[in-house]
Amino acid sequence: MNSPTPDPADALRPRLPSPLRPVADERFERHGVRLLLKRDDLIHPDLPGNKWRKLAPNLRAARGRTVLTFGGAYSNHLRATAAAGRLLGFPTVGVVRGDELADRPLNPSLSRCAADGMRLLFADRTSYRAKHEPAVLARFTADAGAAAGTDPQDVYVVPEGGSNALAARGCAELGAELRDDPEGVSVAAVACGTGGTLAGLAAGLGPGRRALGVAVLRGGFLGGEVRGLQRAAFGGPAGDWSLEERFHFGGYARATPALDAFAADFEDRHGLPVERLYVAKLLYALSTLAAEGAFPRGTALAAVITGRPDAP
């Protein structure tokens, strides 16, 4: 018997709008900048931050079908998708980058996915990179159907990192929450992986405000990704946004002692658990930019806290 598919927006009971809280930090105040933390990490315990905002509209579109998606061995997006599958009762399949992982015990992140019922398929790096090509995607979709015991026609594909047009539209809500907040945010900053969150944030902020994206990967491809996502989601450029690509610290999941020290100090000062892959680089970038005088005096600067550290 089929029960109606619950609307994920209701069934997952997200905490929205997420809280926006000022923090007193003299490294910003000295330069006339008011720092606020947009606590998207508090939206949902299992689908924190932008992962909820990006997945919710996709889960609505999937209508309970098997969801196939992609990620690295420590992907927050894979974990969020697996958790949503458990909570809402739909099948999930994750294609993981790196076929060498198939012969090893699962790391804690992938163990969590498996415990939530996600079927894991391990792809060699060449196929993984080619996952957008129709023939390769068709093979993954067929494999996912077989793994989940469903017809490949009933497999709904969510791209790596969860970023597509629906996701960018979901993240426009983040911009709209900031736009409508009486704190009078003038600049909103977010750490970027695939750029889906920035694409939506900028669109939702509306005129007179700007979005700033801090890249945590190296490579200089992000601007093109954000433009492409905005074209797909909004039909063209939307909102005022720019990128900072100086703060990747060597690349994804790379860090330096200075970054670690900064993050630990921020936790001590403000009691905010600082997620290290994205949020630490965002906050470090913002404090450096403030010191460089990049923000006019009187700026109300919202830092979007997109996630929190993993529970031990």
Ligand X SMILES: *Cc1c(COP(=O)(O)O)cnc(C)c1O
Binding site for ligand X (CB under 6 A): 49-51, 76-77, 161, 163, 191-197, 275, 278-279, 306-307
Secondary element (H or E) of residue 155: strand 155-157
Report how far residue 53's alpha carbon sits from residue 171's, in angstroms, rounded to the nearest whole number: 6
CB of 277 to ligand X, least distance (A): 7
Report how far residue 300's alpha carbon sits from residue 287's, in angstroms, rounded to the nearest whole number: 14
CB 99 within 8 A of CB 68: no
Going through 24-91 in order, the beta strands assigned E by DSSP cover 34-38, 66-71
CB of 114 to ligand X, least distance (A): 19
Judged by CB, which is closer to ligand X: 87, or 217? 217
Report how far residue 248's alpha carbon sits from residue 259's, in angstroms, rounded to the nearest whole number: 10
CB of 92 to ligand X, least distance (A): 17
Report how far residue 59's alpha carbon sits from residue 88's, in angstroms, rounded to the nearest whole number: 9
CB of 51 to ligand X, least distance (A): 6
Smallest CA-to-CA distance from 188 within 178, 173, 177 is with 178
Judged by CB, which is closer to ligand X: 173, or 275? 275
Judged by CB, which is closer to ligand X: 22, or 221? 221
Peptide bond into 6 cis (omega under 30): no
Judged by CB, which is closer to ligand X: 55, or 155? 55
Angstrom distances, CA of residue 58 to CA of 24, 96, 254, 280 = 37, 20, 30, 28
CB of 309 to ligand X, least distance (A): 10
Judged by CB, which is closer to ligand X: 77, or 248? 77
CB atoms closer than 10 angstroms to residue 132: 10
Judged by CB, which is closer to ligand X: 191, or 263? 191
Judged by CB, which is closer to ligand X: 141, or 194? 194
CB of 76 to ligand X, least distance (A): 4
Smallest CA-to-CA distance from 174 within 201, 208, 202, 199 is with 201
Report how far residue 157's alpha carbon sits from residue 45's, in angstroms, rounded to the nearest whole number: 24
Provide the edge-to-edge strand list for the sheet that holds 300-304.
Answer: 20-23, 34-38, 300-304, 187-192, 210-215, 240-244
Provide the edge-to-edge strand list for the sheet that holds 66-71.
Answer: 119-123, 92-97, 66-71, 155-157
Judged by CB, which is closer to ligand X: 253, or 264? 253
CB of 262 to ligand X, least distance (A): 17
CB of 13 to ligand X, least distance (A): 20
Residue, CB closest to ligand X: 307
